[in-house]
Amino acid sequence: MTEIGVKAGDPRIVGAQGRPAVRALVVDDSGFFRRRVCEILNDGPDIEVVGSACNGLEAVEQTARLHPDVITMDIEMPVLDGISAVRRIMALHPTPVLMLSSLTYEGARATLDALDAGALDFLPKRLEDIARNREDANRVLRARVHALGCRRPWVRAAASAPVSAPAPVRTRHAVRAARRPQVVVIGTSTGGPAALQRLLPTLREGYPFPLLLIQHMPASFTGPFAERLDQLCTIRVKEAEDGEPVLPGTAYLAPGGRQMLAERRTGGVRLRITDSRPEVTYRPSVDVCFASAARAWPGGVLAIVLTGMGADGREGARLLKAGGSQIWVQDEPSCVVYGMPQAVVGAGLADWILPLDEIGLGLARQF
């Protein structure tokens, strides 16, 4: 039976004409880049830049004084670097932080350190790397800042509109799949790195099923992220390679900038890593991988949609559900951004809606 939860109305999100602006603090040691980011954010109707800072120490002080809703943070800065600033901010004045980082191996490692310190998301500092043209890139930045700036616990608690459907499922004990799956496929975006680092270590060596992981990430980030996950987990975690077999007890992370598909061949299922079609927005895409899993393991997939912006995963979940596979989604309170899980729930495709920790317990205990 599908359990559907209804998101209560957020009193701050009522349309561009009436909703309060998200208040942003911009932090970067480059005056040129600070001005550019401030101009981009102020150009949107729902964001107001309330201050800027040129180093991490100033960012901590400005956060205490201005109480912004969201902070954009550089990594390499004088006086106090961005990672150290995030740690102090989270200890003293917890505030959503969006890191702006370079697309290099070292930049990826530093960004992952910042996420470990408490930052919620990241974007490339070269905004042109996230979209086909400048205005699209500016819209992506504004959308990400607005989404994180709306993530306030006291706002969520105040949202008390009556619901018209059953509340989300929140069991105290691990759920069990309706049938024993052959593979676990997990899709996520904003907030996903922290969620995966919390979820996957619950699985023990000898886990009997393979896992496919689709995390929206640039190409330079997925290698270091797979290495970090592998260090944290007792199961093996690796960046997926073209043509390799899908084996139990191993988690395969889709390479950034490309698509990961599962294909059944003689002798078993293998991965195909391919360039993306221009019309596909996300690279890697949850929808693309889910659809291939539906073909490779008919009715044998346990698909999980975790925190993330947008609706990637909904159409792939529709194909999986039609073939008899099961869909779990992360519940809203434990998400950084509820967009991807909400899209699946809203389409009536979710079998279970669970807090992140209970998803981990479900995966660890039922197999």
- At 202, the amino acid letter reads T
Say if residue 239 is in the same domain as residue 279: yes
Strand, coil or helix: 250: strand
Host domain of residue 138: 22-155
d(CA 105, CA 131): 21
> Cα separation of 344 and 350, whole Å?
6
- Contact assessment for residue 219 and residue 192, using Cβ atoms and an 8 Å cutoff: no
Share of the chain above pLDDT 70, in %: 85
The CATH number linked to 260 is: 3.40.50.180
CB 187 within 8 A of CB 312: yes
**What are the residue numbers of the active site?**
189, 216, 312
The answer to the question of residue 40 being in a domain is yes
Length of the chain: 367
Q: What is the CATH number of the domain that holds 26?
A: 3.40.50.2300
- Which pLDDT belongs to residue 177? 57
The answer to whether position 325 is within a domain reads yes
Determine, yes or no, domain membership for 6.
no
190-199 in b/e burial notation, b at 16+ Cβ within 10 A? Answer: bbbbbbbbeb
Q: What is the DSSP secondary structure assignment for residue 84, as one 8-state letter?
A: H
- Per-residue pLDDT tens for 188-223? 999 999 999 999 999 998 999 999 999 999 899 999
The total number of structural domains that make up the chain:
2
Do 146 and 228 reside in the same domain of the chain? no
The answer to whether residue 229 sits within a structural domain is yes
Mean pLDDT of the chain: 87
pLDDT in tens, 333-356: 999 999 999 999 999 999 999 999
Task: From first to last of the 367 residues of the chain, give the pLDDT tens digit.
Answer: 333 222 223 333 333 445 568 999 999 999 999 999 999 999 988 999 999 999 999 999 999 999 999 999 999 999 999 999 999 999 999 999 999 998 788 889 999 999 999 999 999 888 766 666 788 889 999 999 999 998 754 333 333 333 333 344 544 444 565 678 999 999 999 999 999 999 999 999 899 999 999 999 989 999 999 999 999 999 999 999 999 999 999 999 999 999 999 999 988 999 999 998 888 889 999 999 999 999 999 999 999 999 999 999 999 999 999 999 999 999 999 999 999 999 999 999 999 999 999 999 999 875 6
